[in-house]
Structure 1
Amino acid sequence: MSTPREELHALIDELPDDAAAELLPELRLLKLQAEARAERPRGSGTWPPAWFGSIEGSSTDISERADEILRAELGRSPQ
């Protein structure tokens, strides 16, 4: 059984050049996403984090007024 990397290399070697060119942007994106996951700091796993709720809001809780806000905006044309 081959390793995933060996299998990936074999599959890429079998691709025609135009298919490889189409695949390249996707592979670059996957690489960036993998790097971002690796660099993401590992939290303590507790929720909420220590900074959560560290500032006070300036207006009343919007979730309490959701129905009122939606009713007021319903049918309004975009500006």
Structure 2
Amino acid sequence: MKMVLFLTVSFIIIGFVVVVSMKGKMERKLAFIQENADNHKNATTPIILWIVGTTFWGLVSMALIIGMFFMN
């Protein structure tokens, strides 16, 4: 039980650190795309993947927390 708690908390903290560290890069990339909207059609792919990854991380984190209640 303690190992599952450790893995859940580690997953959430590491994911949060990664999301926050990449946030600035994605904001700069979005600002660059907005300035040059007509020249960079494929440049939005990393931003979309970051949003999908962040959403997936959030859903998995919620599922792990909910799963902790059912393990007791």
Same-fold status (TM-score > 0.5) = no
Q: TM-score, normalised by structure 1?
A: 0.35
Using CA pairs below 8 Å that are at least 6 residues apart, which structure has the higher relative contact order? 2
Between Structure 1 and Structure 2, which shows a larger proportion of helix residues?
2
Q: TM-score, normalised by structure 2?
A: 0.37
